[in-house]
Structure 1
């Protein structure tokens, strides 16, 4: 695993351009195997999750090439084959191959997906959706999940999700897009990344309505043909991370390639904390801020405050004039960053009974050896390292590389002093 070395205390300035959305990309790449033609994607982030998804594609004889942010995928000679278990376990988003393979072949067999350890993330709603479409689901002693349609293939049906789930919504869409008849997903998630996936599919001939609302309707089609390059939307989580970073240790930073409407709840909290922002059509300028106010955050499904942004905003709240509180209703156990920030001197505690995070004023952070236990915990450690006196070493930095596009280059361009050691994993 890579290590990130941060020489802290250098204030940031300049511009940073946000890459394509990780959470769109990791769903659209599996969705590409539903196409009956080659597919081309633009503004694809250079992250480890893309590399791992390309390895999974190759195991199915789906050839792909990634050059300068453009990913070409050719699924026309796809073969049903055993997927690489180690790679499947390396990222949670591998579960999108369940819906995509089921939609393509009426059958999917793969190892239980892995990814970040941020508490329980069951796939029961995914399974419920597949069963509603007429598939049977079983698991063998080795942890492989087998999903098979009935003799008549998948048949459109109403799907009622018990909880709002981005993954289950997308997987249900992938399975239903070529099913016979009409599928209606009730209590669907509304995230922008879902709209992006649906836009990709509709541009190939899918018939999907209602993306971005809680009711999505899919009329099954027989073929999907890509006619144009699909451009991935900007990554709102990467954008929020740089906005937090710029606010707490910036001398004026322009964050380019953002969709402010996707960040409204996050921007509202930055404003509440005293951060002065100039919001433009596709960029946000963050003014230097030396006085932060304490705030309360409760994570919620979109358009609420994103769970993926509660950790990147935490270092900023250490500089507030009073106690801030974070309640993560999506993943209450998403607290792996806290012990690491405490090593640097952060004054944070978690209520063990209800997982409420209390962030108290902290006069100074000091560089230390900390661990990036998962993507967003790594982002919190990274921002804290930039704020800290001395040198911070982040171990397991591959987790940061899984979610942040060309992160060292971007930080360096902002005048941060950062380097990677043993980095052999990104796409060259």
Structure 2
């Protein structure tokens, strides 16, 4: 099992090019199933989750391949509507093939998903919406078996999500694009990745109103065609590298990104004392002195994103004062706290609330990554600590950060991937 050996450098500074967003690329790959003609998708990051989903789609008989950061897909040879457990268990996004298969082919059998352990993320909202569209849903032996109503077409409906769900919104708008009639959805997720999917569906011939709002209306069409599209830049990767500047009195320029996707995070960075400057496709963070403490409350977009909570906590650990963090999205998203404490952090957790008293510096220590975003908080903490830190279970970071070692080296981080023989 690979590990990162990081020698603290004291300052994170330089330029880094941002990759396409993992959380956008995965639903866009699933949406390719809807197209009757070939689709080309650019700016697709080279990540383990992307590889897994391409393998899953290929297993259905679909011709799909990735060269560099471009994926091409032709669905004409599809001969299976089945997504097996051995692939789906490794990541939750696999459930996103359910909507496209059901909408276009009238049937699907998809394993209930696995993925990281940050908390319960049930798929009941997906299934209830499909049932509202007339589908017959049976869950047995760990699989969702779905069939469209007689005639093979889902039927447009009115549905309000009980809670804001990114995956549920994505799955249902893909299904509604080919449904018979009009679907009206309320309490939709508004994350940039949902907007990216809706825009790609429109490029494929879908009719969607209310993109980027909580209420969307989808008028079903007979068929969708392929298109050429580019994945939105990764706002979480952007924020993760910028956070390094705040922790080390650094100066980080992120390129090929979009500032408007990250406004809640940039506002917190400025409140912590960073000088933030932006252009159309770049963001620069410059920092002098220790960060100021802030209060953070994670919320669905356009609130502060839960995927940046661990990285901001790492910054707060070095702040000149006490910060309060309230995690409202996932119940298990403080698993990085004991690891940060091993590096000298002062954090007290009570339910959904974490009280972080800033310390002057991190201390090098062996730590273990517990989930994707937590892994990046530990990497940044190790980069600021004096001495050598060994980070275990870095397969988490490989799921969401493309070419992470080279990008960190470009920012002055002394990082080495080593193999654990045990």
Q: TM-score range by the shorter chain?
A: over 0.9
- The CA deviation at 1:250 is 5.2
Q: Is the 8 A contact 2:273 2:287 kept in 1?
A: no
Give distance in 1, aligned partners of 2:355 and 2:203.
46
Q: Is the 8 A contact 2:254 2:284 kept in 1?
A: yes
> How does 1:227-306 map onto structure 2 within 5 Å?
227=227, 229-249=228-248, 251-306=250-305
- The CA deviation at 1:422 is 4.8
Give distance in 2, aligned partners of 1:368 and 1:189.
39
Partner SS, residue 286 of structure 1:
strand
- The CA deviation at 1:81 is 4.7
- Equivalent position of 2:50 in the other structure: 50
- Equivalent position of 2:315 in the other structure: 316
User: Which of these residues, 378, 382, 388, is aligned with residue 381 of structure 1?
Assistant: 378
- Equivalent position of 1:36 in the other structure: 36
> How does 1:146-295 map onto structure 2 within 5 Å?
146-152=145-151, 153-227=153-227, 229-249=228-248, 251-295=250-294
Q: Which string of whole-angstrom CA distances, capped at 9 and with x for unpartnered residues, describes residues 95-154 of structure 1?
A: 1011121112211111110111111111111111111101121211x2111111121321
- Equivalent position of 2:359 in the other structure: 362
Task: Give 5+ residue unaligned stretches, structure 1.
Answer: 424-428
- The CA deviation at 1:10 is 4.3
Give distance in 2, aligned partners of 1:289 and 1:45.
33
> How does 1:343-354 map onto structure 2 within 5 Å?
343-351=342-350, 354=351
- The CA deviation at 1:84 is 3.2
Q: Is the 8 A contact 1:276 1:286 kept in 2?
A: yes
- The CA deviation at 1:251 is 3.0
Partner SS, residue 336 of structure 1:
coil
Task: Give 5+ residue unaligned stretches, structure 2.
Answer: none
- Equivalent position of 2:138 in the other structure: 138
> Alignment length, in residue pairs?
419
- The CA deviation at 1:290 is 1.6
| RMSD (CA atoms) | 1.5
- Equivalent position of 1:401 in the other structure: 398
Q: Is the 8 A contact 2:364 2:385 kept in 1?
A: yes
Judging changes above 3 Å, is the alpha-carbon distance between structure 1 residues 20 and 90 closer, same or farther for their aligned structure 2 residues?
same
Give distance in 1, aligned partners of 2:131 and 2:238.
37
Partner SS, residue 310 of structure 1:
helix
Give distance in 2, aligned partners of 1:95 and 1:79.
19
- The CA deviation at 1:359 is 1.0
- The CA deviation at 1:225 is 1.2
- Equivalent position of 2:108 in the other structure: 108
- Equivalent position of 2:335 in the other structure: 336
Give distance in 2, aligned partners of 1:168 and 1:49.
19
Q: Is the 8 A contact 1:6 1:392 kept in 2?
A: yes
- Equivalent position of 1:414 in the other structure: 411
Q: Is the 8 A contact 1:248 1:289 kept in 2?
A: no
Q: Is the 8 A contact 1:59 1:81 kept in 2?
A: no
TM-score, with normalisation over the residues of structure 2? 0.96
